[in-house]
Structure 1
Amino acid sequence: MQVGTPGRGHADESAPTAASIISLLAAEHVNSRRDIARELGLAPSTVSLRVQELIDSGLVVEDGSGTSTGGRRPRMLRINRSAGHVLVADLGGRHARLARMDLLGEPREAADITLDVAAGPEAALETLAASLAQLNDGAADLGGLRGVGLALPGPVDVWHGRVDSPSRMPGWHHFPIRDWMANRFAVPCAVENDANAMALAEHRAHHQQLPHARHSILAKAGAAIGCGLIVDGRIYRGGSGAAGDITHVRVSAADHRACSCGNVGCLETIASGSALVRALREDGLDVNSTAEVVEATRNADPIATTRVRNAGRSLGETLSPVVNFVNPDAVFLGGLLSVVEPFVAAVRSQLYEGCHPLITRDLHIGQSRTGPDAGIRGVGRAILDQIFAPA
């Protein structure tokens, strides 16, 4: 199943419509019975019946009145935030960010834990499940648990709920992650690539600022490099689910540097936070993490600034043909390196230099608005879309 904003259009009146209504309300496309009838092409009487069933179940509540267009003022509808919750986690190589979220996808409580994915799937998932269970214990105000979502730092096969040949997750290849978590918590589970989750979160976070944006690209530049594509408001996955993976694109500036994928000259070997740490240590700087690289750059260290600017230039050079081909409305930059102005400026200038003027004329290029919560917000939206998906 494709994860994203559910499609809109006409539906057969004999088909189940409660899930379709929930889906529209959750995506905030509608807020009245009249809007629902218009969006789904259903008779007002059918909509009223289904909405009343949802109100009786506690999933939907009436909240105030809208503007009249001739006749009675419509009653506004919204998802009942306290009718349930989901648990989500965004996994990195050595840590994970967890959250308990309401049914509108807003984090109610978040936590960071140490987690070593190199320990293997069973050990790492046991640690993760125990921490998620602790978050779940404090969720009495949000109703019952309805789903679990995981954002993972590797190529994700969303159709089978597993990772496929991840270079940084030894032992995880084809491990049934989704089924393992679903069995542990007895609720549906969604797994998603972390860059795709960030792309979905960022696309929706900019809805008010860019209301007409349908296509966007999110480039993640943290300890590793990632990229997610949103087309018509949905994650674009490609034939095997690996669309947008620019991590291992070969770039001339990388020369013959060995990469974790087994190839040489990949973008990640010069543009990722991990690569910058190695390079700066070779330059004599005492840095041990991407965060320390960022700090050195903010302190105007000339060597760190030059390295970070070159990394941004390489990322922009690699993104340019993607932007030319996709012609997105926006390019968002996420990850730790995206908070450093020399990096962002280098990416932006390279895109303007390497893309056709028609492509960049109306292109929005900006930093992430969701910050460190991008992954959990995106995978939270993914599991909610799955729970509320039309039948």
Structure 2
Amino acid sequence: MKEDVPSVGAASPGELLRLLRDGVPRTRSELTTVTGLARSTVRARLDALLDAGLVSDGGSEASTGGRPAGRFVFNARARVVLAAEVGATHATIAVTDLTSAPLAVRRLDQDIAEGPEVVLPRLIAAWRALLAETGLESTRVAGVGIGLPGPVEHSTGRPNNPPIMPGWDGYDVPGLISAELGVPVLVDNEVNLMALGEHTTSFPEAEHLIVIKVATGIGAGFISNGLLHRGAVGAAGDLGHILAPHAGDVPCRCGNTGCLEAVASGSAIAAALRAKGVEAYTSSDVVALVRAGNLEAGQAVRQAGRNIGEVLAACVSMFNPSLIVVGGTVALAGEMLLAGVREAIYRRSLPLATGNLRIVPSQAGDDAGVLGAAAMVVQHVLSPAVVDRQLA
């Protein structure tokens, strides 16, 4: 996530830490020059960060005569972050350092329909097991980040009328987890966090991008001016429930008809193939058929890409991204899906909007959401205001 360098004279301890988070070791003299603060002030603020373990000794610079100056560097291992991306039928959990780099990752099979009082304790137990297995159980946990497969009111962490999550609407997810772990808990829609994960780890230079997840459902996350765009109530990016141009009156699980998800999700593709006598029940079945060279499966995925591209074409005209990243299980079918998406977007959008537009597969892959969940926590707990409050 894009961050500004502290203005001269404004470097609180938290802002000093933000400056050091680029990983470049600096001496007190260099920090004094950059911040414009008195040397004694820089020393006091560095001491506070050293005492908290957030900054460590980065060695000494080469001496040109006299005592070599000590250098200071951000200590990314001072705390760990617990992160999870929870899908409809699986979860990915991770323990990361304070740069969101994963230290351990695990996949879990689970059913979101079992409800929060079953799923959330399972996540907590899995995190604790992962900490124990990696020898990190004594390391202080900075916070927890979770992505859920439905709309989330980010300010409260409560799911907001999620269509495929019975029993989750309005549930106090942060409350249950914080009561067990005693740390800040942040919750967001899983595709928002996929967008954050792709942006922070693979495409940090892209100021305006859309990330699409095509799996059991279809969703999108938007990065605008380098920042995640959630919308007024966390519902931005609900691409799967936009009316698809050629969907007709196909019923959707949301209760409407003609939704994009009803004709282009992995479940919809599998249903269409079964109607033609092809054995396919899940997104993974569809991908396996395409990779095995099944012609009907390949054509169905290509058409799903066109359907998605026709809806995305409107987003391209409205949002004008420089990059569209396509991920999710169905995207593992390879170029078939991407080719359909590109075909429809370039046919339906004006050249001004598509002249420099790239449409690419996910680079973070299955870990995009969990990396985004960790990045969300890191951005919060290491923000200058939060660091200053903790040190005070």
TM-score normalised per structure 1: 0.89
Which of 151, 154, 163 does residue 155 from structure 1 map onto? 151
For the pair 1:274 / 2:271, whether they are aligned, the reply is no
Aligned to 1:342: 336
Aligned to 1:43: 37
Structure 2 vs 1, CA of residues 346 and 17 (structure 1 numbering), >3 Å: closer, same or farther? same
Query: Residue 318 of structure 1 aligns to which amino acid in structure 2?
Result: V
- Three-state SS of the structure 1 residue aligned to 2:91 is strand
Aligned length: 378
Aligned to 1:243: 236
Name the CA distance, whole Å, in 1 between partners of 2:294 and 2:90. 28
- Three-state SS of the structure 2 residue aligned to 1:83 is coil
Which of 276, 283, 289 does residue 296 from structure 1 map onto? 289
Query: Residue 290 of structure 2 aligns to which amino acid in structure 1?
Result: T
Which of 362, 372, 388 does residue 378 from structure 1 map onto? 372
Name the CA distance, whole Å, in 1 between partners of 2:18 and 2:123. 29
CA drift of 1:38 comes to: 8.0
Query: Residue 201 of structure 1 aligns to which amino acid in structure 2?
Result: G
Name the CA distance, whole Å, in 1 between partners of 2:170 and 2:8. 37
Which of 174, 178, 183 does residue 182 from structure 1 map onto? 178
Name the CA distance, whole Å, in 2 between partners of 1:121 and 1:181. 11
C-alpha RMSD of matched pairs (Å):
2.6
Aligned to 2:390: none
TM-score normalised per structure 2: 0.88
Name the CA distance, whole Å, in 1 between partners of 2:249 and 2:187. 34
CA drift of 1:241 comes to: 1.6
- Three-state SS of the structure 2 residue aligned to 1:252 is coil
Which of 246, 253, 258 does residue 251 from structure 2 map onto? 258
CA drift of 1:25 comes to: 4.0
Aligned to 1:130: 125
- Three-state SS of the structure 2 residue aligned to 1:305 is helix
**CA deviation string 1:230-268 (max 9, x = no partner):** 012211112222112111000122111111111100000
Query: Residue 180 of structure 1 aligns to which amino acid in structure 2?
Result: L
**CA deviation string 1:89-133 (max 9, x = no partner):** 110112111111111111111111122111111112122222122
CA drift of 1:169 comes to: 0.2
Aligned to 1:116: 111
Structure 2 unaligned blocks of 5 or more: 386-392
Structure 1 unaligned blocks of 5 or more: none
- Three-state SS of the structure 1 residue aligned to 2:281 is coil
Structure 2 vs 1, CA of residues 311 and 76 (structure 1 numbering), >3 Å: closer, same or farther? farther
Which of 289, 302, 317 does residue 324 from structure 1 map onto? 317
Mapped contact 2:338–2:359 kept (Cα < 8 A): no
Name the CA distance, whole Å, in 1 between partners of 2:120 and 2:352. 47
Which of 139, 142, 146 does residue 146 from structure 1 map onto? 142
Name the CA distance, whole Å, in 2 between partners of 1:59 and 1:320. 45
Q: Which structure has the larger Rg? A: 2
Mapped contact 1:79–1:104 kept (Cα < 8 A): no
CA drift of 1:136 comes to: 2.5
Structure 2 vs 1, CA of residues 309 and 126 (structure 1 numbering), >3 Å: closer, same or farther? same
